[in-house]
Amino acid sequence: MAQSMSFLLAFSLLALFPLCFCDKTPGGYLYPQFYDHSCPRAKQIVKSVVAKAVAREARMAASLLRLHFHDCFVKGCDASLLLDSSQNIISEKRSVPNQNSARGFEVIDEIKSALEKECPSTVSCADILALAARDSTVLTGGPSWEVPLGRRDSRGASLSGSNSNIPAPNNTFETILTKFKLKKLNIIDLVALSGSHTIGNARCTTFRQRLYNQSGNGLADSTLDQSYAAQLRTRCPRSGGDQNLFFLDFVSPTKFDNSYFKNLLASKGLLNSDEVLVTKSEVSKKLVQQYAENNELFFEQFAKSMVKMGNLSPLTGSRGEIRKRCRKVNS
């Protein structure tokens, strides 16, 4: 009898905390079924609002995916990015990587508002970001994955962390890899997650130096296809046009696929941080080649790496809070 009771207890725990998508944190577990009883329609509500937003503007999928990245790389996945500046908070939205760049906050507000009506003070803004990133990927043709849930929201932000921790377009390969390693993400995660640049846009100011003065000698980047560079110069002049937008993947800019990696092998990666994946490391170049040849392999690794990134230092248990509005801490 005692043995059968032990078996039943073990079985029920496995059902509650599935092995594949469960992350143990100091305050508790993240697991996909976290809201199954407290807010059964949570995932459906997030998906519905994201779908409408992406239907209105295809670019929004990449914007929402990027919010999750920029949140997790600073203080962990705790929705600190969403906080506006206040008396005690300097918003991460003011940082170099986010200013005039991070967007989609109104969509997150819309999701939060719908969830607060359905189940007040239950679903965290941090979990909304994680779900919206997954849904955006799926809506544009990318892979799906079970999102571990149960994150709570921070009561503070870190402008300095946002400025220093998020990989920048002009960072060297070693700097980017170091920033990933500091988050316990490896070179496989780096290359796979860079594949998110299969959708979305970049501003002229983020890659201008590649067109005119890559090494301080007044010459264009030699690792950039010159006909592609000439095409880019028509809308990205030496001065002015800073905010002009360009597709990160000009082949299939709104479809989540592996054409980004094919572009890199053709010397047509838009950002310096893209192209260094094939020019500065044999290990990352080999991964780029593998993903360019095998879309399924890329999708599989992207999903794994997104779960891994989504598990970065979440607040669980009694730490943090469930914000009523994502832009401000509860009073």
The reply to whether 292 falls in a domain is: yes
Residues 194 and 162 in one domain: no
Residue 257 annotated as part of some ligand binding site: yes
The reply to whether 4 falls in a domain is: no
The reply to whether 23 falls in a domain is: no
Annotated catalytic, 68? no
The reply to whether 9 falls in a domain is: no
CATH number of the CATH domain containing 155: 1.10.520.10
Residues 195 and 292 in one domain: yes
Residue 153 annotated as part of some ligand binding site: no
Q: What is the total count of domains within the chain?
A: 2
Residues 128 and 221 in one domain: no
Residue 78 annotated as part of some ligand binding site: yes
Residues 210 and 269 in one domain: yes
Residue 25 neighbours by CB distance under 10 Å: 18
Task: Give the pLDDT confidence score for residue 27 in this predicted structure.
Answer: 43
Residues 234 and 303 in one domain: yes
Task: Give the pLDDT confidence score for residue 117 in this predicted structure.
Answer: 98
Residues 58 and 158 in one domain: yes
Parallel, antiparallel, or unpaired for β 23-25 and 28-30? antiparallel
The reply to whether 5 falls in a domain is: no
Task: Give the pLDDT confidence score for residue 18 in this predicted structure.
Answer: 39
The reply to whether 258 falls in a domain is: yes
- Give CA–CA dist 219/213, Å, rounded: 5
Residues 88 and 204 in one domain: no
Burial (CB count <10 Å: 0-12, 13-18, 19+), residue 144: exposed
- Domain extent, residue 288, equals 185-310
Task: Give the pLDDT confidence score for residue 216 in this predicted structure.
Answer: 82
Residues 92 and 201 in one domain: no
Residues 305 and 323 in one domain: no
Residue 197 annotated as part of some ligand binding site: yes
Task: Give the pLDDT confidence score for residue 7 in this predicted structure.
Answer: 39
Residues 49 and 118 in one domain: yes
Burial (CB count <10 Å: 0-12, 13-18, 19+), residue 123: buried
pLDDT digits (tens, 9 = 90+) for 93-127: 999 999 999 999 999 999 999 999 999 999 999 99
Closest to 72 in 3D by CA, of 80, 64, 62: 80
Task: Give the pLDDT confidence score for residue 19 in this predicted structure.
Answer: 39
Question: Which amino acid type is present at position 276?
Answer: V
Residues 76 and 148 in one domain: yes
CATH number of the CATH domain containing 210: 1.10.420.10
**Phi and psi at residue 190, to the nearest 5°:** -55, -50
The reply to whether 14 falls in a domain is: no
**3-class secondary structure per residue, the chain:** CHHHHHHHHHHHHHHHCCCCCCEEECCEEEECCCCCCCCCCHHHHHHHHHHHHHHHCCCHHHHHHHHHHHHHCCCCCCCHHHCCCCCCCCCHHHCCCCCCCCCCHHHHHHHHHHHHHHCCCCCCHHHHHHHHHHHHHHHCCCCCCCCCECCEECCCCCHHHHHHHCCCCCCCHHHHHHHHHCCCCCHHHHHHHHHHHHCCEEEHHHCHHHHHCCCCCCCCCCCCCHHHHHHHHCCCCCCCCCCCEEECCCCCCCCCCCHHHHHHHCCCCCCHHHHHHHHCCHHHHHHHHHHHHCHHHHHHHHHHHHHHHHCCCCECCCCCECCCECCECCC
The reply to whether 266 falls in a domain is: yes
- Give CA–CA dist 197/270, Å, rounded: 9
Task: Give the pLDDT confidence score for residue 219 in this predicted structure.
Answer: 86
C-alpha distance across the termini of the chain, in Å = 51
| Mean pLDDT across the chain | 92
Which listed residue (70, 112, 208, 308) is catalytic? 70
Query: What is the residue-level pLDDT of the chain in tens, covering all 331 positions?
Result: 444 444 344 444 444 443 344 555 444 589 999 999 999 999 999 999 999 999 999 999 999 999 999 999 999 999 999 999 999 999 999 999 999 999 999 999 999 999 999 999 999 999 999 999 999 999 999 999 999 999 999 999 999 999 999 999 999 999 999 999 999 999 999 999 999 999 999 999 999 999 998 888 888 899 999 999 999 999 999 999 999 999 999 999 999 999 999 999 999 999 999 999 999 999 999 999 999 999 999 999 999 999 999 999 999 999 999 999 999 999 8
Residues 115 and 55 in one domain: yes
Structure tokens of 212? Answer: 């005119």
Residue 92 annotated as part of some ligand binding site: yes
pLDDT digits (tens, 9 = 90+) for 174-186: 999 999 999 999 9
